[in-house]
């Protein structure tokens, strides 16, 4: 006999309860508890479980043969970099992003590239019909006989289609629209997302098929549904960018087969997404010359050095408490560096409003940007512009010292390649490497010393 069991599940964190509650005890969200019905098989008063298969015996790790995971590279070098060198067969990749940001466009272009390399690709769309997908493929010019399109939301039908086509790659757009017929809850619920993802993961691992699934995001920017979804997959990618700007940034927040520090940059055009091979030129192309409060820092995004502009606006406050606003950098870091400038340099910033921004919409959070932030604040406060050919690299401590940073050689070489004439960096980073011939490297040990070189006093 099958017994129906009713429970309430939080749609934000997956917390389960036997009764409805207005506020979830797990995550604290209101009105997220939804009733779901679970069918449990019972026999002779005990729950039935499927018989376990023959388990493999444990073996010493030294006796296990090391096998290098093969990778399949696409024509998109930016995507290959973020994935760690290419697509790993049998991997399950989750791609999240805001609506209209370009997730479906990216995956359709990647599908066509893989199809042109004689790989069988199955594109499953739960949000668009086959004809709508064909219209988008015509606009992007990504037609290939090895690219199969299927519009379906039933997971059993999806599984049967995979058995028929026998693809090397599968794209599911999106996981919130797919449902398992044996699960009674609605598509997009916690139970459906969990069960469908688990089934797709089993297909990927047993058949060696690389599967990409698209996940919707909440208004806070995280993947919709429980955090369990991110723990189940091999790789989690976020497609970021402002809808009013043409540039898109692809980041990895989890990657079992590579680094999570890499970043890929694309530009959205009429014919689809195009790679940006030199993002530093993009971020600096509209920089104003001779404006105070503007500095350039060489930041590392994984293995790639990127030059970005940091802008600061310091003005006398109009209300009782000064405002501290930051876009693209941590708000707490700005407050910390302003306290260091006030204590160690003697700048009276406690009655000043501070507004900081990283130009281009990129977000950076490494310690090496401290010196550029401090110099931009001092430049705006004194209304003295820095030299447009200066680049600043360094971490700042609470005692006002400038500390060494990693990968200094790659940062300086990127600055020299873009025509910068002087780089101000920590003294402890000088030595052990060869400077580019066309750039002047200046070592500083404190914030005061850096301001002497940057602002002349």
**Residues within the annotated binding site for ATP?**
97-104
Q: How far apart are CA 294 and CA 436, in angstroms?
A: 24
Residue 305 near residue 411, CB atoms below 8 Å: yes
Match 């990657």 to its residue by tokens: 255
Question: DSSP labels for 222-239?
Answer: SBSS-THHHHHSSEEEEE
Backbone CA torsion sign across 132, 138, 141, 147: positive
DSSP-H helix ranges across 310-401 = 331-340, 370-382
Strand blocks (E) in 276-347: 294-301, 304-316, 324-327
Which stretches within 185-274 are classed as H helix? 190-207, 228-232
Of 202, 191, 10, 225, give the one whose Cα is nearest residue 96.
Answer: 225
Q: CA-to-CA distance for 256 and 225, rounded, in angstroms? A: 21
Expressed in angstroms, the distance from the first to the final Cα of the chain is 85
Using CA atoms, how far residue 298 sits from 40, 44, 284, 415, in Å, is: 58, 69, 12, 7
CA distance 362 to 247: 10
- Binding residues are 97-104
CA distance 238 to 37: 32
450, containing H or E segment: helix 447-455
| Spatial contact of 85 and 235, defined as CB atoms under 8 Å apart | no
Residue 128 CA to residue 134 CA, distance in Å, equals 10
Name the strand (E) or helix (H) holding 162: helix 155-165
């Amino acid at each position: 006999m099958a017994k129906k069991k009713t429970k309430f599940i939080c749609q934000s964190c997956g917390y389960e309860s036997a009764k409805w509650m207005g506020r979830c005890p797990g995550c604290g969200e209101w009105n997220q508890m939804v009733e779901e019905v679970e069918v449990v098989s019972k026999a002779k008063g005990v729950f039935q479980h499927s018989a376990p298969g023959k388990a493999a015996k444990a073996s010493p790790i030294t006796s296990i043969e090391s096998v290098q995971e093969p990778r399949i590279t696409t024509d998109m070098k930016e995507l290959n970099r973020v994935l760690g060198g290419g697509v790993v067969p049998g991997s399950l990749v989750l791609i999240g992003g805001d609506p209209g940001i370009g997730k479906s466009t990216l995956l359709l272009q990647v599908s066509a590239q893989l199809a042109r390399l004689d790989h069988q690709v199955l594109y499953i769309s739960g949000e668009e019909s086959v004809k709508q997908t064909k219209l988008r493929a015509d606009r992007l010019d990504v037609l290939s006989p090895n690219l199969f399109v299927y519009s379906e939301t039933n997971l059993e039908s999806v599984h049967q289609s995979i058995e028929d086509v026998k693809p090397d790659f599968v794209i599911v757009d999106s996981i919130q629209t797919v449902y398992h017929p044996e699960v009674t809850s609605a598509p997009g619920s916690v139970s459906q997302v969990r069960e469908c993802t688990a089934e797709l993961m089993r297909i990927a691992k047993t058949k060696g098929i690389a599967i990409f699934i698209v996940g919707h995001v909440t208004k806070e920017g995280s993947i919709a549904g429980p955090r369990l979804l991110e723990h189940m997959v091999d790789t989690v990618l976020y497609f970021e960018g402002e809808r009013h700007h043409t540039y898109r940034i692809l980041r990895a927040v989890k990657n079992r087969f590579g680094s999570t520090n890499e970043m890929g940059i694309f530009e959205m055009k009429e014919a689809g997404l195009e790679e940006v091979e030199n993002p530093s030129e993009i971020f600096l192309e509209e920089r104003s010359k001779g404006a105070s409060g503007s500095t350039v820092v060489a930041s590392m995004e994984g293995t790639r050095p990127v030059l970005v502009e940091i802008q600061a606006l310091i003005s006398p406050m109009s209300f009782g408490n000064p405002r501290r606003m930051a876009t693209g950098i941590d708000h707490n870091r700005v407050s910390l560096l302003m306290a260091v400038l006030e204590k160690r340099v003697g700048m009276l910033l406690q009655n000043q409003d501070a507004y900081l921004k990283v130009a281009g919409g990129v977000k950076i959070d490494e310690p090496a940007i401290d010196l550029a932030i401090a110099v931009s604040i001092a430049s705006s406060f004194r209304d003295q512009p820095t030299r447009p050919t200066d680049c600043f690299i360094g971490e700042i401590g609470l005692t006002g010292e400038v500390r060494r940073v990693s990968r200094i050689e790659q940062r300086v070489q990127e600055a020299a390649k873009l025509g910068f004439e002087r780089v101000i960096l920590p003294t402890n980073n000088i030595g052990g490497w060869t400077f580019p011939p066309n750039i002047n490297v200046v070592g500083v040990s404190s914030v005061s010393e850096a301001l002497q070189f940057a602002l002349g006093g």
